[in-house]
Amino acid sequence: DADVTQTPRNRITKTGKRIMLECSQTKGHDRMYWYRQDPGLGLQLIYYSFDVKDINKGEISDGYSVSRQAQAKFSLSLESAIPNQTALYFCATSDLGGEQFFGPGTRLTVL
């Protein structure tokens, strides 16, 4: 089984809809991250969490929110989706050493 899983893998939605992307990990890591990737751009950090009670904004947090339900679960929400949030979204985990392990990604399309 994959160490980091994301659901859904693909999602098409309409402008204004609320969307939740979920991430689960079995690596036992405390640290979890959400990134987005757009064509021609590097990965951009949206939010990160160093433990269940710790949530931090990344470079591009506007329009997004997160919830760390447990050590193994970190969800990303788009309260009111807009077309420029169409992107590939990745969840990642790491231990204190810093090496990050990524999930398979969620391809989100906002019409």
Partner 1 sequence: KNQVEQSPQSLIILEGKNCTLQCNYTVSPFSNLRWYKQDTGRGPVSLTIMTFSENTKSNGRYTATLDADTKQSSLHITASQLSDSASYICVVASAGNNRKLIWGLGTSLAVNP
**Which stretch in 11-19, 21-29, 67-75, 85-93 sits in contact with partner 1 by CB under 8 A?**
85-93
Among 8, 16, 83, 104, binds partner 1 (CB under 8 A): 104
**Which stretch in 13-21, 66-74, 75-83, 99-107 sits in contact with partner 1 by CB under 8 A?**
99-107
Q: Is 10 exposed, middle or buried (0-12, 13-18, 19+ CB in 10 A)?
A: exposed
Among 20, 43, 55, 60, binds partner 1 (CB under 8 A): 43
Residue 111 tokens read as 């019409």
Closer to partner 1 by CB, 51 or 99: give it: 99
Buried/exposed 75-89: b ≥16 CB within 10 Å, e otherwise: bbebeebeeebbbeb
**How far, in Å, CA of 32 to CA of 1, rounded?**
19
Residues of this chain that interact with partner 1 (CB under 8 A) are 4, 40-45, 88, 90, 92, 98-105, 107
